[in-house]
Amino acid sequence: MANVADKRREAEKRRDSSQAKPGVRRVLLWSLRSGKLMALIVLAVAGWLLYDALTSPGYVVRAVSAQGVTALSNDDVQTLAGVTGQSIWLVRGDEIEARIRQSPYVERVTARVLLPDTVVVQVTERRPEVRWTHNGTTYAVTWDGLVLAGAPPSAAATQPLTTTESISAPATISETGAVSQTQEGDVPGPAFVSSVAIVDTTPNRELKAGDKVDPDALEVARRVTLRAGELPAPLQRIEWDAGLGVSLIVADNKQVIIGKGERLDEKLAILAHLLHDSTPFSVLDLRTTTPYYR
């Protein structure tokens, strides 16, 4: 009886085993027909590709291409961007733009990723318009008064430059005539929009890139420089003081205090009249409606 029972159990095991094999085949066939097996294969391949892309040295930032820069160099922009050597997948354009925008030369900037290893940066620069000299250092200043950086030493505010004057030839403002645009060959470094120059005589004043200067003084200097040829005497330089405002230094070092830009036409007319009549004075204060001179 025991042998019969053992044989019966072995037969049942063989039957169960034979029934299991068709079950596996049915599962495989069902997976193929339903597409789930293919989906698993695709998912595995995609996961491997993603891992390879994230860890591959081929997807690391190796180059930063700066477009639209003249005052800044490509190396300057690359340093400001601060992404060289980082994974291209972890680079964020808005963060790059924020870092580059810290440069006072940058007005607008956009950054985009170019696979596999490049970041392209498009920059719109602020243009230096005025040379602002303080404590022996000449700074490049934009039209709205933002100090960019030190200008070339040859661009002294006491000798405004034009496209026709040599940088080594001394000239008063009235001798150079109306403001003209500075060509890139005249002055090394950033190209200036105009030849307007101001000497800051304010004592105990520190100035650095990123600071702001008086925009009204810039406007007065522009207008005076344009009309310097109308004065009977040469205009030697334009000064600015935090307390006095704008002053014109005319022939024989006469100081003409203009102050702010209001009533500028009237002030220049009074100055021209006194110079034409050869009225002697060392200081002429035109800030009030009643001029004062001595």
Residue 240: per-residue pLDDT: 96
Equal CATH topology for 57-125 and 130-293 = no
For residues 108 and 97, the answer to whether their CB atoms sit within 8 Å is: no
Q: In 10 A of CB 203, how many CB atoms? A: 9
Structure tokens at 199: 């000497």
Hey, is 165 helix, strand or coil? coil
For residues 177 and 163, the answer to whether their CB atoms sit within 8 Å is: no
Tell which residue, 200, 275, 205, 284, has the closest CA to residue 245: 200
**Could you write out the DSSP letters of every residue in 201-223?**
--TT----TT-B--HHHHHHHHH
Question: In the chain, what are the domain boundaries?
Answer: 57-125, 130-293
Hey, is 22 helix, strand or coil? helix
- Amino acid residing at 185: G
Q: Could you say which of 3.30.450.40, 3.10.20.310, 3.30.200.210, 3.40.720.10 is the CATH number of the domain covering 57-125?
A: 3.10.20.310
Q: How far apart are CA 98 and CA 83, in angstroms?
A: 13
Residue 57: per-residue pLDDT: 75
Hey, is 243 helix, strand or coil? coil
Q: How far apart are CA 164 and CA 181, in angstroms?
A: 10
Q: What is the pTM of this model?
A: 0.62
Domain 130-293, CATH 3.40.50 — does that match? yes
Q: How far apart are CA 184 and CA 191, in angstroms?
A: 5
Give, for all 294 residues of the chain, the pLDDT tens digit. Answer: 556 566 666 666 665 555 545 566 665 566 556 666 567 776 777 766 666 666 667 789 999 999 999 888 999 999 999 999 999 988 999 999 999 999 888 999 999 999 999 999 999 988 888 999 999 999 989 888 999 876 654 444 444 333 222 222 233 333 333 333 333 333 335 566 568 899 999 998 899 888 999 999 999 999 999 999 999 999 999 999 999 999 999 988 999 999 999 999 999 999 999 999 999 999 999 999 999 899
Residue 59: per-residue pLDDT: 86
For residues 217 and 246, the answer to whether their CB atoms sit within 8 Å is: yes
Structure tokens at 154: 């040859």
Q: How far apart are CA 171 and CA 161, in angstroms?
A: 9
Q: How far apart are CA 199 and CA 138, in angstroms?
A: 9
Q: How far apart are CA 130 and CA 144, in angstroms?
A: 10
